Structures are given as structure tokens and as C-alpha cells.
Amino acid sequence: MASNVQNVWFISGASSGLGKSLAEAVIANGDKAIITARRLDRLEAIAAGHEENVLPLAMDVTDEAARNKAITQAIRHFGRIDVLANMAGSGVAGACEEFSLSQMRQQMELNFFATAELTKAVLPQMRKQGCGNILTVSSIAGLVAMNAAGPYCAAKFAIEGWTESLALEVKHMGIDVTLIEPGAFRTEFAGDANMRPENSIEAYRPVVEPFETYLKESAGKQMGDPAKAAQRMLEVVASDNAPYRLMLGRDAYSMWDDTINKRLRDMNSWRERGIDTAFDNAQMVDIQL
């Protein structure tokens, strides 16, 4: 989607997966971009031939000093940040009980805390500008719990809640916030990059092995096209009515619809008993959102 305005994008996790596809789409669109990841050589390959509009920066998104340095360099180089795209993340494959506390904290650090802190670091610039877009990649697993992916789901559920609250808080400042919720896309996500648990408990094999088999057999065959996902993200930024959520993939919508129906049936089965927990004659006070 071409535009007469050159937006300045700050993209984390730009060296692979959806982050790389987004970086390539932004460059092809004629926008300016700060592309970040730990592997500078991969970023430089993406920027090759577009050095005037692209600033590749090595950045470990979990490192506070690295985050702040990259943002300072970005603003010094291009003068502003119009779009923050939080694309960095990684998954897991294993049962909840099998992961150590350290591993669970690593998942929260990357998929929740680092994303939230990077967003907070960019917000002062956007507030100063009086405008901006924030795109934060969650997952359908941020809405639908899955067996063998507990720590990942936990971190994504957390970033969902934090980001939706943020969207309500900054809307009046001219800042639009959108959660990106992909299903399965043809990236490296289904490969060996997923964290495996430190422990193996035989009792969980019946629920973990099907997920491991799915990851192995689906790698490189997923329905989702990362280039098309990137185009949808460009369209969100160009829109005058950016959604709070952009779900991507037929599989994601199918899982969401099925989950909503199951949740409603489950919650409604105890609805009256759940409601009947108030003091007699108590009045409900609505919260204004």
C-alpha cells in the first residue's frame, strides 16, 4: 500500500519470521525503518541497497540498556518514530510441569516484559509527537490456551491484557494500539527454535507428543503467508480506524470461534450460581471504560 507520507518504523525481531517479512514490506513501501535483532549481519542483508531509509541495529530486546540505546539512535537518525512493531518472541513445546522456573521466567521476560518495556520506552516520543501506531504481535495462543505450550500462552495472555489496557489509555493522545494475533504462518516458529523443557515427565507424553508431532510435520507447510500478514499490518497503520485486534489466518479464527462457544457453555452452566454471590440489596456500579 503506497503512501505519500513516509512513516518511520521501529521493528524488533526483524531478522526472521513475521518481523523480517514486515521489514521487507515496509522497505518496499518506501517507508523508513529501524530494524533490530540480535544478529546484525542478517539485518544488514535486509537493508542492503536501502541504506538511506533503513537503519539496522543489533539489539537484544530483553536488555534494557540495548533498548534505550537503540531508541536514542533511532530518534537521532530519523527524528521520530511513527510506528513501533513489537515482533520479537519465541515459543515452547512441553508440559507446564516440565518447565523449570528459570525457563518460565525466560518466556515471560521475552514475550511479555521486554515487549512492554520497549513500548514504554517509545511512548514518550509518541506522546511528544501527538500521534503514533503500536503493533504488538501476540498469538492466537494469547486468547486460546493450548496443551504443551503453557509458558508461552501465559506470556501471551499477559501481553494481551497489558496491551489492551494501554490501547484504552493512549487513544485520546492520538496513539493507536493493535494486537496482532496470528495462527500458523510459514516461518521458523514451528522448528527447533522453540524452548524445550529441562525435565521430562512420562505422564505428560500423551498430551505433549501430538503437539511435538504437529510442529514437526507442519514446518514449512503452514497455510499462513508472512508477506500477506505484513501487508495487513501496513494496512492497519494506513487506516483511519485501526482495530484493537487483528487476527490473522483461517485457523486462528476457527480456534477462536470454537473456544468462545466452549467458554460460553462452560460459564453459563454456573452463571446463576456465580451471579448469586452479592450482598442482599447491593447495587451494581458500572465501570466507565
Residue 4 confidence (pLDDT): 58
- The C-alpha cell at 211 is 503437539
Euclidean distance between CA atoms 114 and 60, whole angstroms: 9
Contacts of 241 by beta carbon, 8 Å cutoff, 6+ apart:
none
pLDDT at 93: 92
Per annotation, catalytic residue among 12, 15, 32, 156: 156
User: Which residues, in sequence order, are bridge partners of residue 182?
Assistant: 248
Cα distance between residue 93 and residue 211, in whole Å: 7
Centre a 10 Å sphere on the Cβ of residue 249 and count the other Cβ atoms it contains. Answer: 20
Is 214 a known active-site residue?
no
Angstrom distance (rounded) from CA 253 to CA 247:
7
Q: Other C-beta atoms within 10 Å of 171: how many? A: 13
Q: One of 15, 16, 138, 139 is an active-site residue; which one?
A: 138
* 32 is known as an active-site residue: no
Predicted local confidence at residue 108, as pLDDT: 97
**What percent of the chain is predicted at pLDDT more than 70?**
96
**Which residue shows C-alpha cell 513500548?**
119
CA 141 to chain centroid, in Å, comes to: 10
pTM of the model: 0.92
The tens digit of pLDDT for each residue in 206-244 reads 999 988 887 887 777 788 899 999 999 999 999 999 999
Is 262 one of the catalytic residues? Answer: no
- Name residues of the chain where pLDDT drops below 50: 1-3
